Chain A
Amino acid sequence: MAAPGRIVLVTGVSRDLGRRFARAVACDPSVSRVIGVDVVPPRGDIGDVSFVRADIRNPVIAKEDVDTVVHMSVISTPGSAGGRNTMKELNVIGTMQLLAACQKAPSVQHLVVKSTTTVYGASNRDPAMFTEDMGPRRSPRAGYAKDVAEIEGYVRGFARRRSDVRVTLLRAANVIGPHIVSPITSYFRLPVIPTVLGYDARLQFLHENDMLRALQHAVVREVPGTFNIAGDGILMLSQAVRRLQRTSVPMPGFAVGSVGSVLRSARVADFSPEQLGFLTYGRGVDTTRMREIFGFEPEFTTAEAFADFGSLLPSSGGRAERVLAGLEQRLPSSAATAALSSGADHG
């Protein structure tokens, strides 16, 4: 399947995930050349990747005989781009231009687009687990979710017009990890976490390493289709906060929204408004197709990915846990051993 000497073009290499993916895919034996494209140069070491500082309309795809295009420059945070308008410009118009360039280039055989499960939205009418065939119950009106929905629309249009190109659309759950900066990680990095009173969201995470592996898998295996990519299992928001040993402050939904906008304007955390729905109702996606058709198995479950993310964070709470641990130690020794064994049974 994988012809030797493939030339891969990666967009969005100025950001951490894109840069790391470009480096990883450059080490793959079936790939001869990797071209990283972005409007700003990457900050870290990019290894064997040759960087082209270019607007995507530049005819770099045709000139370099690129056969695989990996589109990763869909950004979720307006803060890093410099405002919501710029973000939308980069996301939607950038994708349109990339796809237009791909359509003109006969050498392109394979297109991989990193999308997100945000397209499914989050509401009280959602099914527990979204499969790839389902759409959002309410179409998103603004923000990142709308950008992604439009991008996916353009990708589908491209797939119709260039039916000879294999299109792989990866809908990744919230990517989390020690190096990731995203709305959800900055939310969990807050010292005191505001939650929506009376609701407990179901969360699903994907570890950053699994994200990179899934993209590489898509480039190497060339399986066309749309796939949900997420770690196994579900964490409730309350459970996640407890695992981080952070203090949470439940407050009504509208108050969480205004706290979020205050935090955003204070540049403490990039707390996007559409995240409120996610933190209220949560979202789960079905990953049967990822396993059976795409043939990918994530290394980290949702809980493990979250533990890896949380391992570097200092805890701000955990007093109750320490009190209980102290009480357990005070008990006579026979009871302590019984506690240990029963804890092992249940835990």
Chain B
Amino acid sequence: MGDAEIIPIGTRGRPGRGTGKQPSSAARSLAPGRRPPTRPVPRKAAEREPDPTPVIETEVPVIDRPPALTRDRAPLTGIPTGEWLGAFQFAAKELFGEQWEPQLAHFLAFLRRRVTGDYVVDEYGFDQEIAQRFFMTALRPIADKWFRIEVRGIENIPLDGGALVVSNHSGTVPLDGLMTSVTINDHTGRNLRPLGADLVFRMPFVSSLARKGGATLACNEDAERMLSGGELVGVWPEGFKGIGKPYSERYKLQRFGRGGFVSAAMRTGVPIIPLAVVGAEEIYPLVGNIPSLARLLGVPYIPITPLFPLLGPLGLVPLPSKWLLEFGEPIRTDEYDAGSADDPMLVFNVTDQVRETIQQTLYTLLMQRKSVFR
């Protein structure tokens, strides 16, 4: 019973490729001595430090390796630690440039801070580190390259102290809020603190992202608290009426809520800065709505755009319209006396003034715009 022939399964009784007459090509390349194994010189290492002596393949000594045992076949055992270190250093140099050591140390320290929870959030849950490092970095190329945002009147935003930016709202998805945040952050270095509807804080993931990004609930208490704390607050008084309006009604401002933002600004005496955004209406042209499904899901609308349910996830890519942002002259509210925030007629008048300013700016910008996408 010495030598039983091993016949592989699935070859109909015939021996497999290794017939005994001639070694298989795989076996030939493994056999030492016949042809010296061509050890490819690692290209990356060659690029890093070009070796002055050319590598002559024939003179490479054949390494006499002991036979591989099953216990040696764990992954990564074959590559020596030195090469790992070299590869790691090379990757670090690629990623962080010549100053990779302090850069990498910096990055590691940041990661450790995040992992151990050693960072500070403010009372609204705003996480400045994450907002700057991730949100702004992710949104900046979209603002610059995709929408090619053009800004006018950025000098109307005060460099310190509380102010209230009031903007039109459009585009089915509140991208205009994000783009306004990035633009203001890039040009003035200030963080825009958006006020969001309570739906935002009811939705999972969106709510925690919104809080981390600096948003808080659009209510008078929070607005006044932020404004008196000297923050730059952004508000979109049209709300879902504005963002979910059909494409046929583009650039027509909806009702401006109940004017709560005006009374908040009056109580705290901060200026109101009207902002007109042109371009956001065209990113997802809303041509239809499914009210019954929206009611079922408890959301204000289910959008239908020319691309959205039709192309699936691809329809979620916003159309690359050209955006214009114009910040208007600040409207001062510190001249009104103390009780005027509770005077409904005055609040309505100021609300209308802000609304008219934005509407007029929108018309002017639309006249100047050459086309939607250029």
Q: A286–B123 Cα gap in the complex (Å)?
A: 9
Interface size on A, residues (CB 8 A): 46
Chain A interface mostly helix, strand, loop or mixed? mixed
Contact stretch, chosen from B104-112, B166-174, B239-247, B275-283: B104-112
Question: By the criterion CB–CB under 8 Å, are A198 and B208 in contact?
Answer: yes
- State whether the Cβ of B348 lies closer than 8 Å to any Cβ in chain A: no
Cα distance A335–B93 in the bound complex, in angstroms = 14
Given the contacts A127-B219, A127-B222, A335-B101, A243 and B211 also touching, CB distance less than 8 Å: no
Interface flags for B89-128 (1: CB within 8 Å of A; 0: not) read 0000000000001101110111111111111111111010
Q: What are the interface flags for B341-366 relative to A under an 8 Å C-beta threshold, 1 for contact and 0 otherwise?
A: 00000000000000000000000000
Asked if B289 is at the interface (CB within 8 A of a chain A CB), the reply is no
Contacts of A128 in B (CB 8 A): 123-125, 216-217, 221-222, 225
Which single member of A127, A233, A234, A325 contacts B217 (CB below 8 Å)?
A: A127
Closest residue to A133 on the B side, CB-wise?
A: B221
Known contacts A128-B216, A234-B121, A236-B121: A331-B105 contact under CB 8 Å: yes
- Known: A198-B207, A200-B208, A324-B115. Contact between A234 and B125, CB under 8 A? yes
Min Cβ gap B230→A in Å is 15
Would A240 and B117 count as touching, CB distance under 8 A?
A: yes
Report which of A198, A235, A321, A332 forms a contact with B116, defined as CB distance below 8 A. A321
A281, CB-defined interface residue at 8 Å:
yes
Interface assignment of B198: CB less than 8 Å from any CB of chain A: yes
B210 smallest CB distance to A (angstroms): 10
Pair B105/A339 contact, Cβ less than 8 Å: yes
Flag if B106 contacts A339 (CB, 8 Å). Answer: yes
Q: A242-B116, A320-B115 are in contact. Are A331 and B104 (CB under 8 A)?
A: yes
Considering the chains assembled together, what is the distance between the CA atoms of A239 and B125 in angstroms?
11
Task: Give Cα A126 to B218, complex, Å.
Answer: 10
Complex partner residue of B123 from A284, A324, A325, A346, CB under 8 angstroms: A284
A139 to chain B, nearest CB (A): 17
Contact at A324–B101, with CB atoms within 8 Å? no
Query: Within the complex, what minimum Cβ distance (angstroms) separates A218 from chain B?
Result: 25
B104, B109, B122, B211: the one contacting A346 at CB < 8 Å is B109
With an 8 A cutoff between CB atoms, is A129 at the interface? yes
Q: How far is the CA of A336 from the CA of B225 in the complex (A)?
A: 42
B191-202: CB near A (< 8 Å → 1, else 0) gives 000000010011
Complex alpha-carbon distance, A262 and B259, angstroms: 48
A343 interfacial contact with B, CB 8 Å:
yes
Within 8 A of B (CB), among A220-258: 233-236, 238-243, 245
Tell me whether A335 and B102 are in contact (CB under 8 A): yes
Is A334 an interface residue, CB under 8 A from the partner? yes
A338 engages B121 (CB within 8 Å): no
CB of A40 to closest CB in B, whole Å: 39
Contacts of A124 in B (CB 8 A): 198, 201-202, 207, 217
Q: Which residues of B lie under 8 Å from residue A239 when comparing CB positions?
A: 117, 119, 121
Give the chain B neighbours of A142 by CB distance below 8 A.
none
Q: Does A3 count as interface, using CB distance less than 8 angstroms?
A: no
B-side contacts of A321, CB under 8 Å: 112, 115-116
The answer to whether B78 has its CB under 8 Å from any CB of chain A is: no
Question: Quick check: is A197 within 8 A (CB to CB) of the other chain?
Answer: yes
Determine the chain B residues whose CB is within 8 A of the CB of A282 once the complex forms.
125
How many whole Å from A284's CB to the nearest CB in chain B?
A: 6
Report B214 CB to chain A, min CB distance, Å.
11
Q: A127-B222, A198-B207, A236-B121 are in contact. Are A342 and B106 (CB under 8 A)?
A: yes
Q: Quick one: closest B residue to A252, CB to CB?
A: B204
Question: What residues of B have a CB within 8 angstroms of the CB of A125 in the complex?
Answer: 198, 201, 217, 219
Docked Cα-Cα span, A281 to B207, in Å, equals: 9
Q: B123 to A129, Cβ gap below 8 A?
A: yes
The smallest C-beta distance from A77 to any residue of chain B, in angstroms, reads: 27
Q: A124-B202, A199-B208, A243-B117 are in contact. Are A338 and B123 (CB under 8 A)?
A: no
Flag A177-190 by CB within 8 Å of B: 1 or 0 each: 00000000000000
Binding site for A on B (CB under 8 A): 101-102, 104-106, 108-125, 127, 129, 198, 201-208, 211-212, 216-217, 219, 221-222, 225
Pairs of residues from A and B, 6 with the lowest C-beta to C-beta distance, nearest first: A198-B204, A242-B117, A339-B105, A335-B101, A243-B117, A127-B221
What are 12 A-B pairs with beta-carbon distances under 8 A? A124-B198, A127-B217, A127-B222, A131-B221, A198-B203, A202-B123, A236-B127, A321-B115, A321-B116, A324-B115, A335-B102, A346-B110
Chain A positions near chain B (C-beta within 8 angstroms): 124-129, 131, 134, 196-200, 202, 233-236, 238-243, 245, 281-282, 284, 286, 320-321, 324-325, 327-328, 331-332, 334-336, 338-339, 342-343, 346-347
